[in-house]
Structure 1
Amino acid sequence: MSARIDHVFCNSAWATRFDQASMKHLPTIQSDHCPLLISSNGFAPLSSINKPFRFQAAWMTHENFQEFIQSNWASNSPLIPALEALSNDLQQWNKEVFHNIFREKIF
């Protein structure tokens, strides 16, 4: 039976100084321990997504993939908004240009 620690400890001086602090559980990797990520000023809110983004390795076989990434990557934006925008662009590109590879498979 396993349990996950869902609390962190700090003293009152730290809690007063970092009143926006928050914690997230990170995925376990080759261990039975679940690492905790503590941010002293909280985490940027992420928009709710019905379906998580999944990168398809087959996209890299498309002749225009690298050009698409270069033209759609917002290099001057903060990382999270840039990734979110690229994710949306990739999902639209997948539908319009690359199509559904699972539908194309012949079993």
Structure 2
Amino acid sequence: MERLDRTMSNDKWRALFPEGTVRTLPRTYSDHSPLVVLTQGMHSSNPKNRPFRFEAAWLCHPNFSDVVLNSWANMNFSLMEAIKEFTSNVQTWNKEVFGNVYRRKRFLLARIEGIQKFQTHNYSHNLFLLEQDLIKQYNSTLFQE
């Protein structure tokens, strides 16, 4: 992560966003590297403080319907208990079976970035093929996201 340089902003923008940063992402679709501008700077988020969120990517997994059915089967006419049961079950299933899409995306991007940096100095056909495979995996992960 680099500080946002003067060529990407003017004085008014810098005054509004003094913590602004920019990150160059690896190339995945074209020969240009995308940039991400963060106006608040980098802040680490604590996943324990996040509220539960349903992930649409779960719907792509063949075992997800089993998690839903098992969670709601013993609902005993208590909607709140069923929601609590589903939330607990799906969070466990996500960690153990599905995996974290965002973590997988970051992992794939980091590998692609590393290969692209290495390839600028030392070309390897095997690394080129690996990069193409990782880009396909990344695009699949983006679809899930």
User: What's the TM-score, normalizing by structure 1?
Assistant: 0.49
Higher helix fraction (1 or 2): 2
User: Which structure has the higher relative contact order (CA within 8 Å, separation 6+)?
Assistant: 2
User: What's the TM-score, normalizing by structure 2?
Assistant: 0.37
